[in-house]
Amino acid sequence: MVQVDDSAIAFDHSIHQNKLDDAQNDEEANNQQQIMSNNSSQLPLRELPWNLNEEENIPGKKHLGDSTVNSMSKNYRVVDTAAAEENPQTTQKIVNNDNISLEPIVEYAQEPLLPLAEACAPLIDIIDDILTYVQLALDETPDEPANGLTVDESASIRLYTIEWPGFHRSLYSKLNRALKAANREELRPYFKYLKLLLTAVVKLPCVSRMTIWRGVTKDYSANFPPGELVTWWTFSSCTTTMPVLENNLYLGTTGPRTLFSIEAINGRSIQAHSHFAKEDEILLLPGTRMEVQSQMIPATDLHIIHIRQIVPNEVLLEPPFEGAYLYPKNTRKWYQKKRFLLPMFLLTVIALVAIILGSVLGTILGKKAPKYICTHPYISPMSYDIGDIPMSAIFGDFNNDGIQDLAEVNQGDNTMHVLFGTDKGTFPIATTYRTGVDPISITSGDFNHDNLLDLAVANFDEDTVSVLLGDHKGGFTTQTKYETKDKPISITSSDFNKDGYLDIAVAIFSDSTISVLFGCDNGTFSKPISYSAGGVPVFIISGDFNNDTNIDLAVANIAENTTNILLGYGTESFQAPLKFNTGTRNGIFQAGIVYPVGHNPRVIISGDFNNDKRLDLVVVNSDDNNIGVFIADRNGFFQSQVTYTTGKSPISITSGDFNNDKNLDLVVVNNLDNNISIFLGNGHGSFQATNMYNTGNAPSCITSDDLNNDKVLDLAVTNFNDSTVMMMFGNGDGTFRSPISHETGKKPSYVISVDLNQDGRKDLVVTNFGSNTIIIFQKKVIYSWNTYPEDILAVCLLAYDNCLFKLQEFKRN
């Protein structure tokens, strides 16, 4: 049994809060952090701060008998940071089905079902004015409540949602404290009310399997590592709507924040029985068992933790009456068919979190290489300082000297560093440029037709895109900012309307849309136009998916587990606003087409896998332990995904012709199995699983290229826990030789190959989670080949892992 103290995840009720007018003399209340709103009306749901059991409160305004609760006249938000410390919630790691430390909640079920007033009688000496609020709840309850509940049953839920003046004195607060107390005897006075409340809640239908949200103004990422099993012992209130992260009244944009993305299977909607009927609240029951899937860090100090509810093997909460179902009837059968596995987050997690890789790979032909042994390929590296919390990078020849340069953005200090390369593969000169707040993704292109590469950066916490034009002096102009919608998280550029000028497309994290900024001849851009993109888009790539010469877009959505395809029309004429249901007018994009994928889609790549000259897609479904292949048809649509089983927690993928049969193959990294899976393509869009090869500990990313100049594709894999990169040289028949490992920076999480010094040999670029440095491994032996490889991996990094690059060069010994 491994036990982690998690003092803040004490999931108490979380809706509106009353002003603590009478709490100045209360020591506990004085320790609370108060975040207030001057709005006297109920706040809309998407403005609610979901404060993860930090003793959140409910506002109201009622005259209770002779007592007027002045504090219920306004809406307030209180973020509790002290009370939770006094009653820590334990996060349990379950090993070999060991029992958790808290006893299951069982004895309450033996109590008789009583009217609300009688059920609350044992609480008179525990909760102030309990019978007054009981009467309020009964008065607000209709004679014929929804869902077939009795008046007392419906009122018991309503009583739970009412806020007392001084939130710590509220029924929900004290009940949840008792539910998480180590001594179950503290819960006994609540048994009669708990019997009535749970009888009412369990009679409500379970919502369909869905993603719900909760938040807290603390960083709890260390207490929720991927793979951890956790038990929430209190009632937990959640929302179906993504919180407004930038609202300073709530989670805000600065300071430690944790947002939980929960895949719930037995939540109950209590809106019809709540004191706040306009709130779409989903309630989770005590004894909810969760498994942490992944983590991601989309902004400074903001941690998104993806957790999935599972059905526990043991009884944690006894059903309140015979025949009651705590879970959907088919839930356990579904669970027994699935495995809930740890998705190792490369630069975060979950996600999720998600990281998306857009890659374009060609087929490299050549003869089978002779047996090759590489020894002592590297000498000591050189290090380069970069900015704080690097998030994304891109290569390009930014000063037109024929040598690859590197541009990277740093979320911690809101800068972009451009490192100019030399013909020796070094980067001695670096220039720093200002970006917007929390730069997270970068793209490049010649936006003003002056034959110089320009840069565009998505600024996550500022809701802008920064454009920096090349200045003919090897540098860039001061940024020009363009507003987008909430939380731009991924960026790409292409000529979407075929006017000869590059445009910019941005995935909008909080708004479930993409924004397209159309380019002009002078490097400026139009106001953004929004297109629906599905729930919580995290990555965007472009390509001609239907072979009509028009650029299309593919968007990965983490909340809906879908990929949206927006087919481009390519016409120059455009009328705003766009109507997404008009497939024949002169718009730019058709309405998004949603294709269901698996759970926690982590990576998407494109390639012509059936040799019909149309781009197909492959999505890595990390939580389902498979990949999904989408074959394009002649009409620009995709067939339903065909899945292929991988190892545990696949998180990275690459494609290439590894057996020289002119068909694209796939290699998948299995994070929990410490190996890679090889899938050989047959040229018709299907694949055959062949070999698995062991890697180091926690492989995190893979790339493929001809690394030893024998015209055969090789592999490079980063091992997160070993701090190594592993090279596996191909034999040309779909098999690979024993790996050769080399040390990298701390916790490498991403790898890509590129010829940095234009010597005709591919270099290896590794991002390191634990070190903000750039390291160049110089070659020891110079060699050349006759044919320069035309295929180069194009990639946009969406890096949630605070990393930058380590550069390594290969040589043939």
| Tens-place pLDDT, residues 743-784 | 888 888 878 887 776 777 787 878 777 776 666 544 433 223
Mean pLDDT of 700-720: 91
Q: Is the pLDDT of residue 196 over 50?
A: yes
- Name residue 531's beta-bridge partners: 514
Terminal C-alpha separation, the chain: 50
> 391 and 288: one domain?
no
Between 330 and 76, residue with greater pLDDT: 330
The whole-number pLDDT of residue 240 equals 76
The whole-number pLDDT of residue 378 equals 46
The whole-number pLDDT of residue 242 equals 59
The answer to whether the Cα torsion of 136, 139, 143, 144 is positive or negative is negative
The whole-number pLDDT of residue 650 equals 93
Residue 342 within a domain? no
Residue 607 within a domain? yes
- Quick one: pLDDT band at residue 640, thresholds 50, 70, 90? confident
Q: Is the pLDDT of residue 736 over 50?
A: yes
| Tens-place pLDDT, residues 455-465 | 999 999 899 99
> 301 and 404: one domain?
no
Percentage of residues in the chain having pLDDT higher than 90:
33
Amino acid at 648: K
Between 18 and 529, residue with greater pLDDT: 529
> 591 and 708: one domain?
yes
Mean pLDDT of 679-704: 92
Q: Is the pLDDT of residue 76 over 50?
A: no
Mean pLDDT of 641-668: 94
The whole-number pLDDT of residue 680 equals 95
Q: Which of 324, 353, 370 is the last residue of a domain?
A: 324
- Quick one: pLDDT band at residue 91, thresholds 50, 70, 90? very low
Identify the CATH number of the domain in which residue 177 sits. Answer: 3.90.176.10
Q: Is the pLDDT of residue 522 over 70?
A: yes
Q: Is the pLDDT of residue 150 over 70?
A: yes
Point out the least confidently predicted range of 373-377, 394-398, 603-607: 373-377
Residue 681 within a domain? yes
Identify the CATH number of the domain in which residue 758 sits. Answer: 2.130.10.10
> 629 and 503: one domain?
yes
- Quick one: pLDDT band at residue 219, thresholds 50, 70, 90? confident
Between 6 and 629, residue with greater pLDDT: 629
> Locate tokens 């590129």: which residue?
754
> 303 and 410: one domain?
no
Point out the least confidently predicted range of 33-47, 317-331, 685-699: 33-47
Q: Is the pLDDT of residue 801 over 60?
A: no
Between 308 and 367, residue with greater pLDDT: 308
| Tens-place pLDDT, residues 547-589 | 778 888 888 777 766 777 777 777 533 222 222 222 233 334 5
| Strands 748-754 and 229-232, bridge-based pairing | unpaired
Q: Which of 282, 302, 324 is the last residue of a domain?
A: 324
> 157 and 233: one domain?
yes
Residue 609 within a domain? yes
- Quick one: pLDDT band at residue 188, thresholds 50, 70, 90? very high
> 439 and 296: one domain?
no
Whole-number mean pLDDT of the chain?
73
Between 532 and 102, residue with greater pLDDT: 102
Q: Which of 308, 324, 340 is the last residue of a domain?
A: 324
Residue 402 within a domain? yes
Give the closest residue to 605 by CA, choosing from 384, 355, 383.
Answer: 355
- Quick one: pLDDT band at residue 442, thresholds 50, 70, 90? very high
Residue 374 within a domain? no
> 565 and 696: one domain?
yes
The whole-number pLDDT of residue 575 equals 27
> 385 and 311: one domain?
no
- Quick one: pLDDT band at residue 531, thresholds 50, 70, 90? confident
| Tens-place pLDDT, residues 535-549 | 778 888 888 877 778
> 404 and 257: one domain?
no
Residue 329 within a domain? no
Taking the C-alpha atoms of residue 750 and residue 796, their distance in angstroms, rounded to an integer, is 11
DSSP one-letter string for 388-412: SSEEEEEEE-TTSSSS-EEEEEETT
Segment (H or E) for 30: helix 27-30
Residues 620/600, Cβ–Cβ less than 8 Å: no
Q: Is the pLDDT of residue 412 over 70?
A: yes
Residue 353 within a domain? no
The whole-number pLDDT of residue 695 equals 95
Quote the number of domains for the chain.
Answer: 2
- Quick one: pLDDT band at residue 692, thresholds 50, 70, 90? very high
Residue 444's domain spans which residues? Answer: 381-809
Backbone angles phi, psi at 202, to 5 degrees: -70, -25
Backbone angles phi, psi at 357, to 5 degrees: -115, 120
> 313 and 393: one domain?
no
> 243 and 308: one domain?
yes
